[in-house]
Amino acid sequence: IKWDQAQRYAPYQSYSPAYLAGLQKQQRQSAWHQGYHIQPTSGLINDPNGFAYFNHQWHLFKQQFPFGPVHGLKSWGHLTSADLNHWSDLGTALTPHAPYTTHGVYSGSALPVKDRLFLMYTGNVRTPAGGRKSTQLGAWMTKNGRITELPAPLIAAPPSGYTAHFRDPQVLKHAGAYFALIGAQRTDRKGQILVYKAPAPTGPWRLIGPLDFGRTTLGYMIECPNLTLVDGKVVLLFCPQGMDQAVCPYPNRYPNTFVIAAGIDWQRAALIAPGPLQLLDGGFDNYAAQVARGPRRESLVVSWMGLPDVTYPSDQEGWQGCYSLVRRLHIQNGRLTQTPLDAPLVGAPFAPLRDKLNLQEKLTISIPATRSGRIRLGNAQEGLTLVVDGTANTLMIDRSQAGVPFAEDAKATRTLHLDPGPHTFTLWLDHSSFELAVDCGQAFASGRIFPRDPTHWRLSCDAALGANISGQRLAF
């Protein structure tokens, strides 16, 4: 298939069931098929959407294009889970159609309201002249999963002074009122987060203004704004595009950033005492993070383990993208920490320095203070390398030799800065990804890798590191 503009937006019915079945089989049989991460059943997934706890289970929707490894005509796929590890795929929930989503059902969020789940999301329409129209739409989902779309947009157009890059609403409730944060671009090409307010989820929605998060504009566009409460603080996550590296250095083409604040003044649309902008993940592939609050008010986050405008080796097999593990957020000593929820996954212990890796395990590597050396996961031909510098207090992650090369216009290494002292690295390996938490999630780095020969991977480690290493197979 040649993925030109017309083909990307071709109606779903134009693909034959046999073609789709072929793509699904390719995904299932891929050597890079993930063992325990959310991935597409076929084609491409990007942003997590509508992450919420509703009717005694977790709901997560995915931006998907089921017919190829490209950003084509997007719909929402629906997943549910009891434990945030084992997910059931319920198929497509929101399908593109005239008049508001002809060119895609774009990202959005979900909020439980009494006995229904409210979905708020963006409708994408491309005009014949190559322009774009974005509307903010709504739908209700009942406890038995029936979805009814509202016939008219909640917000029919961006305010004047803004372009049609106006999307990804997060709907929230505060003090009896409803608020929406929406990613936006001003006509002078500056990125903003707009705040809207309504007496009910169905509206009427009224603009309060651009959110002040220490500044009110950043880069040329802000995507996927998300706000949550973590241990009494407000955490705002968002994806600025085209941000100046001087504001917050970022090695990925597009970063996922966050700010911690003491609170939020909804009337003024301003964070109270916002801290500096930071990266959510110091690794290679992390974007469009979405938060949810659980039944015990805990804050959780899940991200797309991918980036816009990057091609991946799995594209050759007709599929692209996966999600991070769901991570629990906390604030410790003013810092955001992230801990993957893996308890139900933990399986049999093994000896990482002796036994082969099967690329479906959790490794814990503890090292005393000030030690330097290398840790390598791989075979003679390929591998992922971690380089610890106990003098500079850095950890370098090198994926340049980790398999089929990709994203070669960006650097193949990332460097995390560590506090002085002993360290514990926890690594979750899957068939085509790693997630690395440093010192109980004080720093985090994740990325995709595409090994050519995963059957002979082993772990080796410089003796000088004095590492204590344990491993658990992740049974699934």
Nearest residue (CB) to ligand FRU, 35 versus 153: 153
For ligand FRU (CB under 6 A), the number of binding residues is 14
Q: Of these, 223, 281, 382, 398, which contacts ligand FRU (CB under 6 A)?
A: 223
CB of 416 to ligand FRU, least distance (A): 24
Q: Which residue has the tokens 């030799």?
A: 401
Give strand pairing partners of 259: 236
Which 116-175 positions form the footprint of ligand FRU (CB under 6 A)? 122, 167-168
Which 35-74 positions form the footprint of ligand FRU (CB under 6 A)? 46-47, 63, 74
- What is the pattern of x (binds ligand FRU, CB under 6 A) and - over residues 414-443? ------------------------------
Is residue 190 a contact point for ligand FRU (CB under 6 A)? no
Nearest residue (CB) to ligand FRU, 64 versus 314: 64
Nearest residue (CB) to ligand FRU, 47 versus 285: 47
Is residue 252 a contact point for ligand FRU (CB under 6 A)? no
Residue spans of beta strands (DSSP E) within 333-411: 335-340, 346-350, 361-367, 373-378, 383-389, 394-398
CB of 64 to ligand FRU, least distance (A): 9
Active site residue: 4, 47, 281, 309, which one?
A: 47
Exposed/middle/buried for residue 129 (C-beta within 10 Å: 0-12, 13-18, 19+): exposed
Sign of torsion over alpha carbons 109, 111, 112, 113 = negative
Is residue 288 a contact point for ligand FRU (CB under 6 A)? yes
C-alpha distance across the termini of the chain, in Å: 35
Exposed/middle/buried for residue 322 (C-beta within 10 Å: 0-12, 13-18, 19+): buried
Q: Of these, 32, 61, 87, 106, which contacts ligand FRU (CB under 6 A)?
A: 106
CB of 289 to ligand FRU, least distance (A): 11
Nearest residue (CB) to ligand FRU, 289 versus 438: 289
In one-letter notation, the amino acid at residue 443 is: A
Q: Which residue has the tokens 């944060």?
A: 181
Q: Which two tokens mark 340?
A: 């993957």
Nearest residue (CB) to ligand FRU, 8 versus 167: 167
CA atoms of 363 and 16, how far apart (whole Å): 43
CB of 185 to ligand FRU, least distance (A): 11
Q: Could you check whether the bond before residue 99 is cis, i.e. omega within 30 degrees of 0?
A: yes
Nearest residue (CB) to ligand FRU, 211 versus 397: 211
Radius of gyration over every alpha carbon of the chain, rounded to an integer in angstroms: 22
Go through 196-206 and write b for each residue having 16 or more CB atoms within 10 A of its CB, e for each that does not: bbbeebbbebe
CB of 122 to ligand FRU, least distance (A): 5
Q: Which two tokens mark 239?
A: 């994806």
Which 73-92 positions form the footprint of ligand FRU (CB under 6 A)? 74
Q: Which of 334, 262, 332, 338 is nearest to 300 (CA)?
A: 338
CB of 71 to ligand FRU, least distance (A): 6
Residue 47 annotated as catalytic: yes
Asked if residue 465 lies in contact with residue 387, where contact means CB atoms within 8 angstroms, the answer is no
Asked if residue 57 lies in contact with residue 84, where contact means CB atoms within 8 angstroms, the answer is no
Q: For 28, which DSSP code?
A: H
Nearest residue (CB) to ligand FRU, 53 versus 76: 76
Which 289-348 positions form the footprint of ligand FRU (CB under 6 A)? 308
Asked if residue 181 lies in contact with residue 192, where contact means CB atoms within 8 angstroms, the answer is no
CB of 108 to ligand FRU, least distance (A): 8
Q: Which residue numbers are catalytic?
A: 47
Which positions touch ligand FRU (CB under 6 A)?
Answer: 46-47, 63, 74, 106-107, 122, 167-168, 223-224, 287-288, 308
